[in-house]
Amino acid sequence: MGILEGKKILITGVLNTSSIAYAASEVAIAEGAEIVLSGFGRGLSITQRAARKLGESVKVIELDVTDESHLNSLVDQLQPWKHLDGVLHSIGYAPPSCIGGDIFQANFLDVATAIEVSTFSLKSLTQALLPLLKEAPTGASVVGLDFDAQVAWPGYNWMGVAKAGLESLTRYLARDCGPMNIRVNLISAGPIRTIAAKSVESFSSFQDDWGQKAPLGWNPTDATGVGRSIVALLSDYMPQTTGEIIHVDGGFHALGA
């Protein structure tokens, strides 16, 4: 019996088989979970193709976390589920002006878009799902994906600022969701060659030698280890952990040079 046996999990952000969310989906299914994926717009058909590779029974719903009508109908879309044991927030976007070059080139409207999609959406998603999360028999788990915001990465710019906000937001959500027996945590993953990572050209300046510096090594083409860590947080095996940022990066974050 797997550690997610019988649990109902919503997973956002599956674009293709290289997505961290896809790796988490594979592990979650192997550990006994029933999952639903979400996608939207032009990416919806890509998510649907990925879902078929996971299994014919994997349902895909449309969800744009910036659309109030989508959020308001989310609980209905997850019917006949009467509760939700966990959700993976794997959502992020920043306009091109916010990534690459220097910090000065983006205007406020572009920065606001990056913050709304990459940071505020964790609050929006959690709030929309509260009616189901509160009903989880053994408590629910909200897990988000982070990229270490303690330092300034080449070219990451306003997405780095958005991730710093995500880290802070996680602590506040943990505070307010805890009394409802809902845990909120982040996984800070090392660089994985996903579609999202390809939009940050400067990632190539450090992701290829990440494994040489990380004490445990690092393979940027294999998200399985990150997926397993996500599933661990979604399970009942970490019932007293909330407001935490767990680094899954081969230990890279622990080194000073």
- Annotation-wise, does 3 bind a ligand? no
Q: Are 103 and 111 in contact (CB under 8 A)?
A: no
For residue 91, say whether it is annotated as part of any ligand binding site. Answer: yes
Task: Check the annotation: does 194 bind a ligand.
Answer: yes
Would you say 163 is a known binding-site residue? Answer: yes
Q: At what angle do helices 20-30 and 44-54 cross, to 10 degrees?
A: 30
Confirm or deny that 13 is annotated as ligand binding.
yes
Task: Identify the bridge partners of residue 9 per DSSP, sorted by sequence position.
Answer: 35, 86
> Positive or negative CA dihedral for 156, 161, 162, 165?
positive
What does the block give as tokens for 43? 């990416």
The secondary structure of residue 116, as a DSSP letter, is I
Task: Confirm or deny that 196 is annotated as ligand binding.
Answer: yes
Q: Is 86 annotated as a binding residue?
A: no
Q: Which two tokens stand for residue 240?
A: 């007293």
**Residue 230 annotated as part of some ligand binding site:** no
Is 94 annotated as contributing to ligand binding?
A: yes
Answer yes or no: is 193 a known binding residue.
yes
Integer Cα distance of 99 and 155 in angstroms: 6
Residue showing tokens 């989906």:
25
Rounded distance, CA 48 to CA 32, Å? Answer: 21
> SS3 helix, strand, coil % of the chain, rounded to 5?
45, 15, 40
Residue 252's Cβ-count burial label (10 Å; 0-12, 13-18, 19+) is buried
Q: Quick one: CA dihedral 145, 149, 151, 157, positive or negative?
A: positive
Residues with catalytic function: 156, 163
Residues 6 or more apart in contact with residue 204 via CB below 8 angstroms? none
Q: Which segments are annotated as binding site for substrate?
A: 94
Annotated binding residues, written as ranges, equal 13, 19-20, 64-65, 91, 94, 163, 192-196
